[in-house]
Structure 1
């Protein structure tokens, strides 16, 4: 970014202000413009750095840095890293696993859905995607099930029958 036009504008404005003070003020302004040029450039750089600090806070985890190349600032934008799509490692062919059951509905489910935005750290998002893929579920279905299990204390309710028979054996299946 070229700061010269901004410094020149400041110089012109100082000259205009000095003409109102007469010849002595104009001569003083001309003598002051050379040393003020470097101070003006530093002040502009400070303002740009502060502005980019605010932009960086809004872009987190991305960032914008101000670097000097010679006497001119340069902006360096670092975009947040996009997570790589999940790719399952090749595994030996095994018997196909039974598909994972759908997530249980919430208590008193009236059929309506609600949308929320969830912000996860990139590493946790990747782990969530891997866990969902390993169970053959979408991330949304996996999260619905995880939240339901967390709220129900590990007990699953809903259309899937899951419990123990009178003899204490585990029962799993669909109830119609």
Structure 2
């Protein structure tokens, strides 16, 4: 990304402001523009780095890094790791538990939104657990709350469980 147009625009705006102050202010602005160029570039680079830090937090586990190449920043985007390829499982594995079905009279399809605050270490553990089960954090939390309220009962999906000689498959299909 070329920062020159932005630094030139700042130089122009400084000159316009100095014109209002007369000849002495204009002369001072001309003397200050060259030393201020490096400070302006550094300030712009700091702003871009902070912005990419926010983008990286939203993209996690992907990231966006700002690297300096010469005088200009360069953005390096790292995509999140690809999903695991399909694999055959020889032994039946404990399948991720599906939420217990809600009572028929309790599910009217309406959704409610809440703000949920928890310590950073618990948030990280919840994110890891959700990722391990291939769920969003929201879906994982909904399932955890449902399981806790239903007394720990978990439904087992059809075709999974303790069937003798059963074979299972796990993975994602695109």
Identify the residue that residue 136 of structure 1 maps to in structure 2: none
CA distance in 2, matches of 1:50, 1:155: 44
Identify the residue that residue 132 of structure 2 maps to in structure 1: 124
Relative contact order, higher structure (CA 8 A, sep 6+): 2
Can you give the 5+ residue segments of structure 1 that lack an aligned partner in the other structure?
92-96, 98-102, 129-143, 158-176
1:106 aligned to 2:114? no
1:65 aligned to 2:69? no
Identify the residue that residue 166 of structure 1 maps to in structure 2: none
State the shift of 1:56 in Å. Answer: 1.0
Q: Residues 94-121 of structure 1: CA distance to partner in whole angstroms, max 9, x if unpaired?
A: xxx9xxxxx89737447x79699xx863
Question: Which runs of structure 1 show a deviation greater than 4 angstroms over 4 or more consecutive aligned residues?
Answer: 107-110, 112-116, 150-157
CA distance in 2, matches of 1:156, 1:15: 71
Identify the residue that residue 18 of structure 1 maps to in structure 2: 18
What TM-score, normalized by structure 2, do the two folds share? 0.57
Across the aligned residues of Structure 1 and Structure 2, the Cα RMSD in angstroms comes to 3.8
What TM-score, normalized by structure 1, do the two folds share? 0.57
Looking at CA atoms only, which structure, 1 or 2, has the larger radius of gyration? Answer: 1
CA distance in 2, matches of 1:83, 1:75: 24
State the shift of 1:76 in Å. Answer: 0.8
CA distance in 2, matches of 1:69, 1:104: 51
State the shift of 1:60 in Å. Answer: 1.3
Can you give the 5+ residue segments of structure 2 that lack an aligned partner in the other structure?
93-97, 112-125, 136-142, 157-174
